[in-house]
Amino acid sequence: METTELWKNTISYLETDLSRGVLNTFFANTKLSSLDNGKAQVVCPSKITADYLRRRYLPQVSQALKSLTEKDWEVEFQVSQENAPIKEAELGPLFTPPALDGLVSRYTFENFVVGLPNQLAAQIASSLVEGAGNSVSPLFIHSGVGLGKTHLIHAIGNAIKERDPQMKVLYVGAEQFTNEFIKSVQNSRSAAVFRKRFRAVDILLVDDVQFFAKREGTQEEFFNTFNELYLAGKRVVLTSDQHPEEIKKLDSRLVSRFCGGVVADMQEPDVDMRLEILKRKAAEWEQAVAEETLLTLAQDISGSIRHLEGALNQLLAIATTKHIAPTRDLAQAILKNRPQPQHFLKPQDVIAETSAKYGITVEEIKSAKRQKELVRPRQVAAYLLRALAQLSLSQIGEMLGGRDHTTILHSIQKIEKEQQENQILKEQLRTLRGEILGKTS
């Protein structure tokens, strides 16, 4: 059997064990070059590909060849001569500090609103910039979607560049890192360029690392990149919508590295923060808006800051177009007509999981009873129904036994405030979030 046909059959054989993504990414452009003296030489388009196949899939390839030829083979992965590894000196200066750092200049510490829900993350980020946080690496910031972690990671990069323009700072989204990595495996020059781009930096900022989940090859490469930067005393800042230990299908080595620095979470902004965010956003429009109008929006819209700013933009756009004042009545009309978010979880699950966590029944949490052992679970359920299901205050009140708007708002604000000072409550909320969201994955 010719080597070309045998290798084609080998890859077909591997389809039963390996995913199509792995085969398309790492086995594309490989070929079986020779079978001689018990050795099977597989030629790869780049050193990244050869190294990865050797570490991760050598046993599977050896077994496939044995099954097809009924012989044992010592498999060797080599780089083709036309794609031989390139020395770093031959690449020239790949890193262009100001132009290609990926930073968005409008995201700064000056326009980042700080309050109890994000105070710790903001303080650690600031100390890292000031130099007091040199030992903080990695800094891992996690929060729900739209709560400002991307703003904060860009603010870190922009502040460092402002203090020292010579610092090599690079921001990249995890998806972009993955896409560039996949392209790099096709030839050695691309691989060398890729590695130098991400390793020849003083600080690497990586956004949305939960995107690495289930992507074994990308995780392997990022692990090596992270280690090289860490051992060189460089700094790494990461963001995610989950705590490292909650990201499913993330390599345990990466989880360990991510948790080895400082892990800081950012909670949903409380009413005071939301009001301040709206005031600053209104100032950008150079439009006078009464505080009671802004407060109406701040009290009704929780969760994503983008949703909050979007409602204000809609209010001011209507007011400007129609030449009317942005009044509280107009704000209430906008809130009434706002489309409700699609829910990927059942609100009933939030109540059921919360009840089970505190050892009470769903009937008890909805009841009119006010025993201490029922009040706290009820407050937590209200908070989570707002945070996860994004229900209105009146909807939450209905689900919790017909309670009024004011009672629900008080419950949510109480939990928002207490979790900043009560680590036990904070951990309970984190665990509950994971259990509830796990039902929707």
pLDDT in tens, 331-376: 998 888 765 554 457 888 899 999 998 999 999 999 999 888 899 9
- Residue 397 inside a domain? The answer is yes
How far apart CA 155 and CA 128 sit, in angstroms, is 11
Looking at residue 278, what is its pLDDT?
Answer: 94
Which residues fall in the annotated binding site? 146, 148-150
Query: Band of the pLDDT at 96, cuts 50, 70, 90?
Result: very low
pLDDT at 19: 73
The C-alpha atoms of residue 374 and residue 377 are separated, in whole angstroms, by 6
Mean per-residue pLDDT, 196-224: 92
Which CATH number characterizes residue 389's domain?
1.10.1750.10
pLDDT band with cut points at 50, 70 and 90 for residue 82: low
Q: Residues 52-81: pLDDT tens digits?
A: 899 889 999 999 998 888 889 999 999 877
| Mean pLDDT, residues 400-412 | 89
Are residues 253 and 387 both part of a single domain?
no
Largest CA distance in the chain: 87
Q: Is the domain of 275 the same as that of 302?
A: yes
What are the tokens at 189? 């020059």
> Do 423 and 323 belong together in one domain?
no
Q: Where in the sequence is the domain holding 310, given as residue range(s)?
A: 271-337
pLDDT of residue 51: 86
Which is more confident, 390 or 202? Answer: 202
Comparison of pLDDT for 196 and 190, the residue scoring more: 196
Residue bearing the bigger pLDDT, 441 or 414:
414
56 and 129 inside one domain = no
Helix axis angle, 328-337 to 305-322, nearest 10°: 120
pLDDT tens-digit readout, 248-293: 889 999 999 999 999 998 988 889 999 999 999 898 888 889 999 9
List b or e across 234-256, with b for residues whose CB sees 16 or more CB atoms inside 10 angstroms.
bbbbbbbbbbbebbeebbeebee
Q: According to the model, what pLDDT value does residue 438 have?
A: 66
Q: pLDDT higher for 91 or 363?
A: 363
- Whether 240 is covered by a domain: the verdict is yes
Would you say residue 99 lies in a domain? no
SS (H, E, C) 87-147: CHHHHCCCCCCCCCCCCCCCCCCCCCCCCHHHHHHHHHHHHHHHCCCCCCCCEEEEECCCC
Write down which residue in 226, 250, 266 finishes a domain.
266
Containing 172, the helix (H) or strand (E) segment is strand 169-173
- Whether residues 280 and 256 share a domain: the answer is no
Distance of CA 289 to the CA centre of its chain: 34
Predicted structure pTM score: 0.64
228 in the same domain as 144: yes
Please say whether the beta carbons of 75 and 62 come within 8 A: yes
User: How confident is the model over 105-143, as pLDDT tens digits?
Assistant: 889 999 999 998 899 999 999 999 987 545 678 999 998
Same domain, 260 and 135: yes
Q: What is the three-class DSSP state of 266?
A: strand
Number of domains in the chain: 4
Which is higher by pLDDT, 237 or 176? 237
Name the residue among 151, 159, 240 with its Cα closest to residue 203. Answer: 159
The pair of three-digit structure tokens given for residue 168, joined into one six-digit string:
């090599």
Binding residues for ATP: 146, 148-150
